[in-house]
Each structure stands twice: as C-alpha cells, then as structure tokens.
Amino acid sequence: MNITITGSLGNISKPLTEQLIAKGHRVTVVSHSPERATAIEALQALPAIGAIEDATFLRRAFEGADAVYLMIPPGYAATDIHAYMKAAGDRYATAIAQAGVKYVVNLSSIGAHTPDGAGPAGANYHIEQQLNALTGIQVLHLRPGMFYSNFLGSIPMIRHQRIIGNNFDATTPVVLSHPADIAAVAATALDTLNFSGKEIRYVASDEKTGAEIAALLGAAAGQPDLTWVHFPDEALLAGLIASGLSEQMAKVYVVEIGVALRDGSLLTDYRQQEKITFGPTSFADFAREFGEIYKNN
C-alpha cells in the first residue's frame, strides 16, 4: 500500500515508518524541514517537504495514499495553541477528502472525550469530530496517555535539585504511554486496516502515581531518595517559562493537564472503557532507558 505519515521523524513517526517499510509498504513522510529529507530517504521512505499550513501541499502529499497517519506537530510559535491545532485538523480533513484517502489513523489524546478537555485534548476533540464527519472514510483515533519521553525533560531538576514533580500530588495516578508502543499499534492498524467506521482506541503502557514514578526514576538515576514534589500551579508555570517554554506551551501541555489529573476529569472516559490496548513497555522498562540517558548526559 501507499501510506503517508505526518510528523516527520518524531518519536512515533520514525518507528512507525520503519515498521511499515519493513512490511513492504511504500511510505511517504511529511516534514517541514528540508534537512530531514536525507534521513527520510535513508529509511527507504519518500520525503514530502512542506508546511502543514499549506493546504495545496497537504493535498498533494495525501494524493495516491491508501492510508494516512495524522499527528499535529507542537505549535511552539503559536500564540493560541488550541486555534493552531484546530486549524491544522481542519486542513487535514479537507486534504483527506480532496485526495480520496480511505483510511486514516489519527493521533489524538486521552481526555479528548469532551470539547473542553484539558490541555490539547479539547482541540483533539474538535479534530476527531472533523474527521468523523468525513463520509466513506474509515478513521481510527488513538488516545494515548502522557508520553514516557516527557520525563526526560526532568533530568536537570533531578540532577541539580534532587526532586521531581508536577502540579499534582504523589498519590495521583497517571496513565502513561511509550511512543514505541503507540507506533506499534498505529503500524498494525495501517498494515492490516483492521478498523472500520469511526473508532477510538486508548493506548496505555502503564499507570503509576507520582510517588511510584519518582521511585523508579530515582533508582535508575542513582538517587534512591528522589522525592515527588507537588508544585502550585503558578510556581510550575513560572519554572517552565524560566526553562525556555512559552507561556502557551507551559499552560496547555503541562499545567492544564496537571489540573485535570488532580480533579480526575482527564481520565473519566478512559476509566469507563472495557477494552484498552496496553503496550508491552512498562514504566520500569522505560526507567532503565532513562537511567542510561541520565548517566550519559
């Protein structure tokens, strides 16, 4: 099959591309960076270099594709992340309809069950609805939890302050997903086209409290006394901005998510699911990866 992958060579898109190439599919990878073309070709995929803001480019990138994997790159420069994501989703939906794509795997997020979901979830709800409105097109929405890889950003805090934390306490449960596990689910779906109509699949790898996260990462980093700290929202926001994140990114991708974990609203629909796709990579497995990266940086 001809399959188009958005997301360049990110934590999910790269292993997804590799797995689909290994299955014999003809894969086109969309990237905004011309510098990525060589790396894409090295995977034996075809580069499509352009901006997702360009509707004509998107339509051309999707033309001839039997299936498409959709993800929206982080809007680091966006002044309104929700508006940026919704506009990107609208362009994706239009390009899919114009190009005649019949199968779509869409990377959504946990919490996307309500239009006012926390963080990017509300925008992902809008995107899901736009894709669901397409007739004659089979759509699978993947809703993962918090990415394991996000914790790599805590390395400076662990190293220099010997703490880790967020704006929720150590007893709060967090649904977690390894990018490799998400890629594997997407690869199977795109290889087999084992979905029909408009479907939702939650993709989780593990569930841990803040205290359990601190214990596992602390042991891996050689800091067995590592403590989880519950930061006030304002203090967390200020710290994230000081570390280089824009106020929008810090609010949407971190602070709002923490608030929704505290009050339980982020996981309401997830808790009601009878069937969830669990990946094989436990958080303890990731902690070993984390430990190697911690020691070598």
For the stretch 149-208, pLDDT in tens is 999 999 999 999 999 999 999 999 999 999 999 999 999 999 999 999 999 999 999 999
The whole-angstrom separation of Cα 95 and Cα 107 is 17
Q: How many CB atoms lie within 10 A of CB 60?
A: 15
Q: Residue 275 above 90 pLDDT? A: no
- Domain of 120, CATH number, reads 3.40.50.720
Give the pLDDT confidence score for residue 165 in this predicted structure: 97
Give the pLDDT confidence score for residue 203 in this predicted structure: 97
The answer as to whether 209 is a domain residue is: no
Q: Residue 251 above 90 pLDDT? A: yes
- Taking alpha carbons only, the member of 212, 206, 209, 224 closest to residue 291 is 224
Give the pLDDT confidence score for residue 77 in this predicted structure: 78
Domain that holds residue 120: 2-144+178-202
Section 261-287 average pLDDT: 94
Give the pLDDT confidence score for residue 78 in this predicted structure: 83
For 149, the token pair is 């890889």
Put simply, whether the predicted model's pTM sits higher than 0.85 gets the answer yes
Q: Residue 256 above 90 pLDDT? A: yes
Give the pLDDT confidence score for residue 76 in this predicted structure: 79
Give the pLDDT confidence score for residue 18 in this predicted structure: 98
The answer as to whether 46 is a domain residue is: yes
Give the pLDDT confidence score for residue 260 in this predicted structure: 95
Candidate from 75-84, 238-247, 266-275 with smallest mean pLDDT: 75-84
Q: List Cα–Cα distances, 105 to 32, 140, 165, 200, in angstroms.
A: 20, 5, 33, 10
The answer as to whether 150 is a domain residue is: no
The answer as to whether 263 is a domain residue is: no
The answer as to whether 295 is a domain residue is: no
Candidate from 52-61, 99-108, 270-279 with smallest mean pLDDT: 270-279
Q: What is the mean pLDDT of the chain?
A: 96
Give the pLDDT confidence score for residue 79 in this predicted structure: 86
Give the pLDDT confidence score for residue 197 in this predicted structure: 97
The answer as to whether 120 is a domain residue is: yes
How many domains does the chain divide into? 1
The whole-angstrom separation of Cα 264 and Cα 283 is 21
The answer as to whether 268 is a domain residue is: no
Q: Residue 121 above 90 pLDDT? A: yes
pLDDT tens digits for range 227-239: 999 999 999 999 9
The answer as to whether 216 is a domain residue is: no
Give the pLDDT confidence score for residue 210 in this predicted structure: 97
- Taking alpha carbons only, the member of 175, 164, 260 closest to residue 211 is 164
| % pLDDT > 70, the chain | 100
Tokens 């580069």 found at: 47
pLDDT tens digits for range 126-159: 999 999 999 999 999 999 999 999 999 999 999 9
Residue 139: which residues within 8 A CB-CB, separation 6 or more? 103, 104, 105, 106, 131, 132, 195, 197, 198, 199
pLDDT tens digits for range 9-54: 999 999 999 999 999 999 999 999 999 999 999 999 999 999 999 9
